[in-house]
Amino acid sequence: MKINNFLFIIYFQLAISFAADFYGSKPFYQIMETNYTTAWTPAEIDPVNRDYIVILDGSNSSYVSIHENDIFTLTVHNSTALTSGQGTYGDALRSMFQLQDLYIEELGTESLSNRYTLRPVLGSYYAIDANADVNSSTASGLVVRDIKSTYVTDQSIVAYLIFEVIHSGNTTVLKASSRYTFNSTSSEFEIDNSWSSNHWLHINSDNLELTTNESDATDLMLADASDLINILNVPSSEFNAAGIDWQTNTFAAFPTNPNTGEEATGGVETSQLYDQVINQTDTYYHQQFYHSATASQAAADFLDVIETTLLSEGESLRYDKSLYLAIRENMLSRKTVAVDEVNCVIDTPLVAHVYFTNAKDDNGEYHPFMVVATHNGSGGPNFLIDVARPPGDGSSGSYDQQSVTRNAVLAPVLCKIPLKDYGLVNNVTDNDMSPYGSLAEDAGVSQDQYNVYNYAALAANGIAIDGVKIYPAMNNTLVFAQMNAEITSTGIHVGRGMGLHYHADGHAYSGNGINLYNLHDYPGHSHPPIIGFSLDGLALYGRHESSYSNMDGYNVALDEFGSHDHDDYGHHYHAFSETVTNSWQNNEYTFEEHFFLVGAYKGSINNIPGFQESNTAQLVNQELGKYVGASGTYVSVQSHVGIPKDFSLQNNYPNPFNPTTSLRYDLPENSMVNVTIYDMLGRQIKTLVNQDQIAGYKSVVWDATNDYGKPVSAGIYLYQIRVGNYIQTKKMVLLK
Ligand SMILES: [Zn+2]
Ligand SMILES: [Zn+2]
């Protein structure tokens, strides 16, 4: 059969020509283990609210750290590794604490107290407390406690210490002058009146202790941690181009689950992505679930089936299978390292499942997807407290009357990445966004003003490789989130729905080695790392770095969408930066915008079913459920089910085409079948089928060659089926 020749040619070409470098960026747990080679000279600061510090003894020989394997335990380490640049990123991050003012969450009504909780950078929802019962007057030990997810925690004690920084002469001490404990009846923290104010920090060789003897208080060096790893996002920098000060609005109410509107309950291990999603999906897909060698093999095998099915329809995957398998492995290997989403649990997967589906629409077209079942968490610290002007909570009133969102919560997402090559657009408006809405439409921008920034999704338009959603560079008031001081130094923030998402490329902003992707990902590779996927199916790679100018595609310019095509990579996006001018509150600002996704789609989206849908409710949606593998929707892709009732010749797909198209027809009974191609003058070009066939749904591919195997010229062709007395003829267009 001709189809076999055609498939052979395709496979042969892939086998001999494919040479692209697909690899994901380092997951956060690997960053923690990566050597941190920058030497550090501790510099003392007199800290204020939100400053990051490293707590050293006065001679700089040791520092306080959370324990390598237990975020709830504090230890003391020798400083040499940190100061000489022989430690790891983990060593550095475990040594960093943030001072948060006692009244930080309600500054709208209170002024600063200059008394602080001490929060580990790797656990901003945790704080240092005395290792003592509630209503104790004293303690010598210290511990780290969860003080935020109070309804999730299984801790019996929820409490924290308040510290004052006291300088006298040349000495600096930290005094634990008060303690707050959680009243579960009122759901409020209340001062613990039993606590004696006479407690000072004392470093005793490798232990951190409290002493009630002031003369035993250790003379400390509170060093500026931003000299160690700079995570700050300061006014008038590129991520706060409008120079906006940190807003003193009260924090929005405790995070709720955006899917249920209720407070997030339980840790990720009880997430919907496990029991509920597994119950609602077809058992056929379960072999690809979780992260194991057998699941990876099942996913690879099914991707082979999808590729074969598409080829038999004259269609193709957008990229080589190895790209999808590489991103699948990387996503599944990511786990929670920091506690910076309320309901997260250390050392659990960020992405639960990545599986491939291959459902057909009502017209018989296949729409295969890579489904990413993710908790939408970054795994590392988010620095949400530091955002100068975070989104308001959406309550009525002007911004200064609103509470602002500074808390993140993990929530289930089912993100669908189309695998089929749906083609590309030339102009932004070639994509029909009317079913979904766009930033431009929402803001009342006229159609002649549509551009790659505003003709963009109101919702997420991509997924990062850590499983966190990516939004367009502009927010829904058509200003760059970056200019408006809405995002952290990692390019992330929380919207009103409390879900994390990226708006910009933190790697390009801070280059501090702890972003979604970093320079230490690049060595030994020939193209930047994969850092995500756009919902149009195009892959997103890190930016080209001048220090790796020999990488593939370095000299191939990006178009206005931030995309290009070179070597064997197929058409794809890169993060990049560009000088932009944008106005806010009647002022214009010109700055370097660090794009992840510009906003507008370069890939054609018009035929993608369930486009931009990312909630778990897709599983119970009558139309869309099959694309995320809903229970009972899997049908074998090798053969169509059942016998058609009538003879029928379907429209070829694609049409117009170049160089292959698929012709489909329905045979209600076993018959002698002839399918022949003619040109417009009625000359016979090619006999595609001339044989007895059994009843069923049939298809045959024409590769635009004649009976002698020679390519035919561009133009209109006719295809005709003859089965007994049934004759049907249709037109198709070959473009070159
Ligand atoms: Zn946003
Ligand atoms: Zn490239």
Question: How much distance in Å is there from the Cα of 106 to the middle of ligand 2?
Answer: 47
What is the pairing mode between strands 96-101 and 87-88?
A: unpaired
Instruction: Tell me the two tokens of residue 639.
Output: 């053969």
Cβ atoms within 10 Å, residue 695: 14
Nearest ligand by distance to the CA of 470: 1
**At residue 182, does pLDDT exceed 60?**
yes
Nearest ligand by distance to the CA of 570: 2
Instruction: Kindly tell me the burial class for residue 446, based on how many C-beta atoms sit within 10 Å of its own C-beta (0-12, 13-18, 19 or more).
Output: exposed
User: Amino acid letter at 543?
Assistant: R
Question: How much distance in Å is there from the Cα of 551 to the middle of ligand 2?
Answer: 9
267 touches 152 (CB < 8 A) = yes
Give me the percent of the chain exceeding a pLDDT of 90: 75
Query: d(Cα 480, Cα 478) in Å, to the nearest integer?
Result: 7
Question: How much distance in Å is there from the Cα of 566 to the middle of ligand 2?
Answer: 6
**At residue 2, does pLDDT exceed 50?**
no
Question: How much distance in Å is there from the Cα of 238 to the middle of ligand 1?
Answer: 17
Give me the percent of the chain exceeding a pLDDT of 70: 93
Query: d(Cα 267, Cα 309) in Å, to the nearest integer?
Result: 40
The pLDDT of 47-58, averaged and rounded, is 96
Nearest ligand by distance to the CA of 571: 2
- 3-state SS of the chain: helix, strand, coil percent to 5? 15, 30, 50
**At residue 606, does pLDDT exceed 50?**
yes
Cβ atoms within 10 Å, residue 93: 26
Q: Which helix (H) or strand (E) holds 283?
A: helix 283-286
Structural domains in the chain, CATH included, are 41-227 (2.80.10.50), 238-628 (no CATH), 643-734 (2.60.40.1930)
159 touches 179 (CB < 8 A) = yes
Question: How much distance in Å is there from the Cα of 117 to the middle of ligand 1?
Answer: 28
Contacts for 397-405 with beta carbons within 8 Å, 24 or more apart? 399/247, 399/249, 400/247, 400/249, 402/249, 403/249, 403/250, 403/251, 403/252, 403/253, 404/247, 404/249, 404/250, 404/251, 404/252, 405/251, 405/252, 405/493, 405/494, 405/495, 405/496, 405/498
Question: How much distance in Å is there from the Cα of 561 to the middle of ligand 2?
Answer: 13
- Grouping H, G, I as helix, E, B as strand and the rest as coil, residue 333 is coil
Question: How much distance in Å is there from the Cα of 451 to the middle of ligand 2?
Answer: 23
The pLDDT of 331-344, averaged and rounded, is 92
pLDDT for 106-130, tens place per residue?
A: 888 788 999 999 999 999 999 999 9
Query: d(Cα 460, Cα 471) in Å, to the nearest integer?
Result: 5
Question: How much distance in Å is there from the Cα of 600 to the middle of ligand 2?
Answer: 18
Instruction: Tell me the two tokens of residue 522.
Output: 């690049």
**At residue 11, does pLDDT exceed 70?**
no
Question: How much distance in Å is there from the Cα of 422 to the middle of ligand 2?
Answer: 20
pLDDT for 8 equals 44
Higher pLDDT, 307 or 661: 307
Q: What is the 3-state secondary structure (H, E, C) of 94-130?
A: HCEEEEEECCHHHCCCCCCCCCEEEEECCECCEEEEE
Nearest ligand by distance to the CA of 494: 1
Higher pLDDT, 268 or 538: 538
pLDDT for 58-72, tens place per residue?
A: 899 999 999 999 999
Residue among 344, 351, 349, 397 nearest 373 (CA): 351
pLDDT for 194-234, tens place per residue?
A: 999 999 999 988 899 999 999 999 999 999 999 999 999 99
pLDDT for 7 equals 43
The pLDDT of 641-670, averaged and rounded, is 79
**At residue 677, does pLDDT exceed 60?**
yes
**At residue 720, does pLDDT exceed 60?**
yes
Question: How much distance in Å is there from the Cα of 722 to the middle of ligand 2?
Answer: 48
* Mean pLDDT, the chain, whole residue set: 91
Question: How much distance in Å is there from the Cα of 561 to the middle of ligand 1?
Answer: 20
Q: Please list, in sequence order, all residues whose beta carbon lies within 8 angstroms of the beta carbon of residue 5, skipping any fewer than 6 positions away.
A: none
534 pLDDT tier (thresholds 50, 70, 90): very high
Nearest ligand by distance to the CA of 480: 1
Nearest ligand by distance to the CA of 544: 2
Any idea what DSSP says for residue 219? -
256 pLDDT tier (thresholds 50, 70, 90): low
Question: How much distance in Å is there from the Cα of 324 to the middle of ligand 1?
Answer: 27
Higher pLDDT, 666 or 135: 135
Question: How much distance in Å is there from the Cα of 526 to the middle of ligand 2?
Answer: 10
12 pLDDT tier (thresholds 50, 70, 90): very low
Question: How much distance in Å is there from the Cα of 475 to the middle of ligand 1?
Answer: 6
pLDDT for 265 equals 54
Question: How much distance in Å is there from the Cα of 495 to the middle of ligand 1?
Answer: 5
pLDDT for 148 equals 83
User: Amino acid letter at 732?
Assistant: M
The pLDDT of 157-165, averaged and rounded, is 97
Question: How much distance in Å is there from the Cα of 402 to the middle of ligand 2?
Answer: 43
Higher pLDDT, 37 or 220: 220
pLDDT for 692-708, tens place per residue?
A: 877 777 778 788 999 98
Question: How much distance in Å is there from the Cα of 446 to the middle of ligand 1?
Answer: 23
pLDDT for 699 equals 75
Question: How much distance in Å is there from the Cα of 553 to the middle of ligand 2?
Answer: 5
pLDDT for 379 equals 92
Nearest ligand by distance to the CA of 469: 1
Question: How much distance in Å is there from the Cα of 572 to the middle of ligand 2?
Answer: 7
Measured CA to CA in angstroms, residue 36 lies from 13, 31, 182, 224, 519 at distances of: 44, 9, 38, 17, 12
Nearest ligand by distance to the CA of 487: 1
**At residue 497, does pLDDT exceed 90?**
no
Question: How much distance in Å is there from the Cα of 315 to the middle of ligand 2?
Answer: 24
Question: How much distance in Å is there from the Cα of 545 to the middle of ligand 2?
Answer: 12
The pLDDT of 470-481, averaged and rounded, is 95
Question: How much distance in Å is there from the Cα of 319 to the middle of ligand 2?
Answer: 13
Question: How much distance in Å is there from the Cα of 23 to the middle of ligand 2?
Answer: 13
Q: Which helix (H) or strand (E) holds 280?
A: helix 275-280
pLDDT for 539-554, tens place per residue?
A: 999 999 999 999 999 9
pLDDT for 19 equals 77
- In order, the DSSP letters of 493-514 are EE-TT--EEE-S-HHHHH--S-
The pLDDT of 499-515, averaged and rounded, is 96
CA angle 433, 439, 441 (to 5 degrees): 65
